[in-house]
Amino acid sequence: MQMTLDALLPMAALSGTVWLVTSLVSLFTLGLGWLRPSYPGWRGWAVGHAALVLGLLVGFLRTQETLLPSVLIGNGLVMVGMALFLSAFQRFTGLEPSSKVSGIHGLLIVTILLCLAVLTIFPSGTARFLLTSVYLLLMAWKLIRLIIGQFHQQPFLRKAYGLNLAVFGVVHLLTLPRLITLAMGKHPEMMFGLNLPNILMYAAVLVMSVGGTFAFWILHEDRRRQELHALHNTLELLAYQDPLTQVLNRRGLWQAFETKAQGTGSRPSTLALLDINEFKEMNDQQGHAAGDQCLKRLAGVIREIAGPDDLIGRLGGDEFMLLLTGSAETVSRQLTLLTYHLKAGRQGRLGFTVSFGHTAVEPWETLDEALHRADTLMYSSKAAHKEGVQAQEVARRRFSSEHATEDLTPRSRRLIARRSERQQS
């Protein structure tokens, strides 16, 4: 009797230590899950972890008199805990199963518990162990398969998923010796003895409890960090990019110019300022939607002409800025191509004309100084365009008037001539 107690005491100490550690982790996880909001799945993991710990406690307190309830309650809690672990990952990834699948899963657990009850009444410890192990292995296989799938689908979370995968891999390796030993059914007395397979099994429980919780928390934190980074990029785009044309806005241009001025050294650049002709009339006659399309087309043409290191931006309204930073030959070619597209009019790609002026920008100059010069040149171009349009309109009216009088009778022509003479006198 004394020898039996001496043999059981180390095992009891090991079981108690493992249960105490996992209980503390469970309390911490539950508190974290309910007090600190997180993504779907964290609370499910916390409840699953608590179920696993309670299942271990029931198994630890098992006696011959409480064999049947401890088998049902202990194994039931462990199976529910593993199912909740799987559900936690499914909810986190947005792949939560339907209520029908969850119902079938619950029915499967009930069926296994009924089989365990029969195998306890008609004792077969090996069969009970194998039945429970098959279910747990099935859940683990589904969980690992899910993690591997997400590992490929969410590259920004690969490290966190890899850590979770490593934890589950270590857990399976540690439980393998006990599984092989008890599955053979030759040494059932080893189930509760202090031996290497059981020590490794308890080590697996600790790894699953502490390491699994930590790895799942890392997964949540990495996702939160990635979403914050994406939000920061979105806000940065809203702050520095024009949402309509997808080029830099005024603030973005000034910021990019300052950055580029610090890195270009002594190399000069060329600044072009562009303004759509008769843009207000287009908006009034065709509507703002048509005006927006004109802005997008112009931005697209400028984007094609610009080089990878050039700056494109919309200053506001229908004004655009292009900063060319290439070699003199490249800039000359770009300006020639730009002039061709902007002056083509209705027959060109744009379907309208654009006035623009360009000026050289020295490295020590500010953007405001260069813009002022380019603005003056651009408005000179716009004034010349208006004069040309007015001259064309006068010529058109004169031509129409001359051709209209050709169709009049001689008497009507004499009346028009006399009226014109009286107006001149």
Q: How confident is the model at residue 394 (pLDDT cuts 50, 70, 90)?
A: very low
Residue spans in the chain of domains classed CATH 1.20.1070: 2-236
What is the per-residue pLDDT for 349? 82
pLDDT tens-digit series, residues 264-283: 555 788 999 998 888 888 88
Residue type, 270: T
| Average pLDDT for 37-48 | 88
Name the region of 154 (left: φ>0; alpha: ψ -120 to 50; beta: rest).
beta
What is the per-residue pLDDT for 167? 92
Closest to 295 in 3D by CA, of 308, 310, 312: 312
Residue spans in the chain of domains classed CATH 3.30.70.270: 250-405
What is the per-residue pLDDT for 413? 55
pLDDT at 187 over 80: no
Percent of the chain with pLDDT over 70: 85
Range among 190-194, 199-203, 261-265 rated most confident: 199-203
pLDDT at 203 over 50: yes
Higher pLDDT, 299 or 13: 299
Closest to 317 in 3D by CA, of 280, 371, 349, 342: 280
How do beta strands 311-316 and 319-324 pair?
Answer: antiparallel
pLDDT tens-digit series, residues 95-128: 888 888 889 989 999 999 999 999 989 888 788 8
pLDDT at 332 over 80: yes
Q: How much is the CA Rg of the chain, to the nearest whole Å?
A: 40
pLDDT at 8 over 60: no
What is the per-residue pLDDT for 3? 39
* ∠ Cα 24 26 30 (to 5°): 120
- Look up the CATH architecture of domain 250-405: 2-Layer Sandwich (3.30)
**Mean pLDDT, rounded, of the chain:** 82
Out of 1.20.1070, 1.20.1630, 1.10.287, 2.40.10, which CATH number does the structure's domain 2-236 have? 1.20.1070
pLDDT tens-digit series, residues 63-78: 777 888 888 998 999 9
How do beta strands 354-361 and 311-316 pair?
Answer: unpaired
Residue 194 CA to residue 3 CA, distance in Å, equals 13
pLDDT at 7 over 70: no
What is the per-residue pLDDT for 399? 43
What is the per-residue pLDDT for 14? 80
Higher pLDDT, 45 or 183: 45
Closest to 106 in 3D by CA, of 84, 73, 130: 84
